[in-house]
C-alpha cells in the first residue's frame, strides 16, 4: 500500500461505520489490532472528505475539529465534560482530535492553568456548516 494515512474514531460504533464505508467503496485499506484504519495517500482526499466527513455530519450537522498539545488534552476533556459540551474523539495519523459542534468557541474557553509552561492550542481547519 506504500505510504499510508491512519484514522480511528474512538467511538467503536462510528469506527465500524467507517470500516463498512471503506469496504463498500472498495478502498484498499487495512485495520490493525487496535482498530486503526490505514489507507493510501492516493485515497486520502476521498476517505477524509467523503467517508469520514459523512460520519461526522451524522454526529453533528454543523461541526469543527479541535486539536491541542498532548499535555492539554485532559484539561479540554474535563472542561467539555463539566460544561456539557458534546464531543467525540478521533485519532488522525496518531494525533488526537476532538469533533465538537460548530457553535462552540474553544478559543474563548477559560481553562485553569496547571503547568507553568503554556502553549496556545491550535484549531484544525476542517469545519462543516452542512
In this prediction, residues 80-87 reach a mean pLDDT of 95
pTM: 0.82
Give the tens place of pLDDT for each residue, 14-68.
Answer: 999 999 999 999 999 999 999 999 999 999 999 999 999 999 999 999 999 999 9
Q: pLDDT at position 36, please?
A: 97
Mark out the alpha helices in the chain (DSSP H runs): 12-24, 44-46, 53-59, 73-82
CA distances from 122 to 13, 57, 72, 108, 117 (A): 28, 22, 11, 13, 16
Is 63-128 a CATH 1.10.3470 domain?
no
**Alpha carbons 130 and 121: distance in angstroms, whole number:** 25
Q: pLDDT at position 128, please?
A: 59
Amino acid at each position: 500500500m506504500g505510504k499510508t494515512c491512519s484514522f480511528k474514531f474512538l467511538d467503536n460504533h462510528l469506527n465500524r461505520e467507517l470500516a463498512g464505508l471503506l469496504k463498500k467503496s472498495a478502498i484498499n485499506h487495512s485495520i490493525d489490532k487496535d482498530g486503526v484504519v490505514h489507507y493510501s495517500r492516493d485515497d486520502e482526499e476521498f476517505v477524509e472528505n467523503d467517508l469520514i466527513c459523512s460520519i461526522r455530519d451524522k454526529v453533528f450537522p454543523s461541526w469543527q475539529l479541535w486539536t491541542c498539545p498532548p499535555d492539554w488534552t485532559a484539561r479540554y476533556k474535563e472542561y467539555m465534560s463539566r460544561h456539557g459540551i458534546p464531543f467525540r474523539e478521533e485519532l488522525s495519523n496518531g494525533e488526537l482530535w476532538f469533533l465538537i459542534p460548530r457553535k462552540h468557541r474553544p478559543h474563548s474557553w477559560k481553562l485553569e492553568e496547571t503547568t507553568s509552561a503554556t502553549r496556545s492550542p491550535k484549531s484544525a481547519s476542517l469545519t462543516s456548516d452542512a
